[in-house]
Chain A
Amino acid sequence: MSVTAPRLADPAPEQLRPTVSSRRVVATLLRKELLVELRTLESVPAMSLFSLATFVIFHFALNRGSVEGDLGAGILWVTLLFAAILGVNRLFVADAEQGGFDGFLLAPVDRSAMMVAKALTLLAYLLVLELVAVPAFAILLLGPSLWPALGGIALTLLLGDLGVAVIGTLVGALAVRTRARDLLGPLLSLPLFVPIVIGGARATAPLLAYAHRGGLSGRWLATLGVYDLLFGLIAYALFDFLLED
């Protein structure tokens, strides 16, 4: 079958509309994401409140007023991860429900740009989350002072966030158009997050300890970095297959 255009309006081959530059597309998408989030305030406040509530629950569950070292690092990372899952669950819902995928698919753009934009969005959410959660953690539960280790913790969190953002985007896109999207999202994410927890918690633990404040461990940061890179590439390559029909 064939459907043709009006002869007069047939553009010469070199005038075929060029695909829009990817950077511009990512910027457009990112702007749209943040605009919608600012209007609805769906994800970030929920993630932040969730983390605060979780710290309180940890206090009662562990019956401790202050934590440090391995325990402290563990509580921080677990809380951040579960809050992140809330964000992952909501990441693609607006698009799935309001026809955002179709609108994007009809545009003459590189589809992987959506993956980059969504990952950056999730990263932004996580950074804002941490601006709330980390001070709250320091106030509510952490024994040693946070200040000396702040730089190291920030770097570790950033590397961990990159991994969570990339995996969260992939899993979010995978789960959103299934029947059990709220269940599959967490189930798929958690095993994939394990190496991030390993690297992140191991690197953070000495920074939060009373005795012999360890320095930043290059080994764990390198592990996080490699993991981020590997899954970033994989997500970028596979994302296209999730969008089309």
Chain B
Amino acid sequence: MTRRYGEREALRDVSLSLPAGRTLVVFGPNGAGKTTLLRVLATLLRPHAGRVEVLGAGLPDDGWRVRGRIGLLGHEPLLYRELSAAENLSFHASLHDIRKSRVEEVLEAVAMTARAQEPIRHLSRGMVQRVAVARAVLHEPDLLLLDEPYANLDPAAVELVAPLIGPESGRTRVVCSHDPGGGMAEADLVLGLREGRVALLAEAPAVSSEQVTELYQ
């Protein structure tokens, strides 16, 4: 599929297929189109050419059907800074028609129950990221789209969120990563993007770390 930004092609002829429950890791330098790809899959951007099918629904027309089954964790935490973690999550829970007890569940899962009543702007970046993870999995999505999810997390926090968004979660995942080592460990399928084009696409065992670092030259 292709996604344009005016006359420039942010993504061009990107073609792949990700089966259920598998993890796709996307590598590539900044501006390669990783975030764009994620946003198209999240139904936030329309593809300009080609066919995209997410969870059985064709985009852009049927995107609305599967919106509630997709969880996005992007660069922005998508949280209102003046509201507390609990209030933010309640807000999202209402929008997704999720029961309120689930909010407490996810707060517990990311160990933020103690500070759930404080406004987001009082929290450190790591904590905000944890709340963002909670927001992304609140509605128990079938598909997780993660843009450098471990970016602001210390190792303890990474371990904490692993069952929610890591390979053990059992969900289908698309992860954008800048960390060849960690990324390769999680991947079933590897996609390398370079200036919007596919530079590398293979099953994980067949990919060497040199190939990945080459993308960034």
B residues contacting the other copy or chain, number (CB 8 A): 56
Given A3-B174, A6-B172, A109-B95, the answer on whether A99 and B68 have CB atoms closer than 8 Å is no
A2/B54 in contact, CB under 8 A: yes
- Residue in B44, B69, B81, B119 whose CB lies within 8 Å of A17: B69
- Interface hub of A5, A20, A100, A245 (most chain B Cβ within 10 A): A5
**Does A5 contact B67, Cβ atoms closer than 8 Å?**
no
Taking CB atoms and an 8 Å cut-off, the chain A residues in 1-38 that contact chain B are: 1-7, 9-10, 16-20, 24-25, 28, 32, 35-36
Given contacts A1-B52, A4-B20, 20 further A-B contacts (CB under 8 A): A1-B14, A1-B16, A2-B17, A2-B18, A5-B20, A17-B68, A19-B68, A20-B95, A28-B91, A32-B83, A39-B83, A98-B78, A98-B79, A100-B78, A103-B92, A106-B43, A106-B44, A108-B68, A108-B96, A244-B46
Distance in angstroms between the alpha carbons of A7 and B1 in the assembled complex: 25
Partner of A35, one of B53, B67, B83: B83
Number of A-B contacts (CB under 8 A): 131
Q: How far is the CA of A36 from the CA of B84 in the complex (A)?
A: 10
Q: Is the CB of A6 within 8 A of B15?
A: no
B19: A residues at CB distance < 8 A: 4
- Residue total for A at the interface (Cβ-Cβ under 8 A): 36
Judge whether A94 is part of the interface by a CB distance below 8 angstroms: yes
B44, B55, B66, B119: the one within 8 Å of A105 (CB): B44
Residues of A within 8 Å of B20, CB to CB, are 4-7, 10
The 5 closest A-B pairs by CB, nearest first: A108-B68, A107-B95, A5-B142, A99-B78, A99-B76
Would you call B202 an interface residue if the criterion is a C-beta within 8 Å of the partner chain's C-beta atoms?
no
**Measured CA separation A5–B70 after assembly (Å):** 10
Instruction: Tell whether A63 is near chain B: CB-to-CB under 8 Å.
Output: no
Q: Does B65 contact A (CB under 8 A)?
A: yes
Docked CA distance A103–B136 (Å): 10
CB within 8 Å of B: which residues of A? 1-7, 9-10, 16-20, 24-25, 28, 32, 35-36, 39-40, 94, 98-100, 102-109, 244-245
Cβ B55 vs Cβ A5 within 8 A? yes
> Chain A nearest CB: distance from B26 CB in Å?
12
Q: Does B205 contact A (CB under 8 A)?
A: no
Supposing A5-B69, A107-B92 touch, asked if A40 and B82 sit within 8 A by C-beta, the answer is yes
Assess whether A106 is in contact with B67, with CB atoms less than 8 Å apart.
yes
> Which of B15, B18, B95, B143 contacts A28 (CB under 8 A)?
B95
The residues of B that contact A100 with a CB separation of less than 8 Å are 78, 80
Q: How far is the CA of A219 from the CA of B143 in the complex (A)?
A: 57
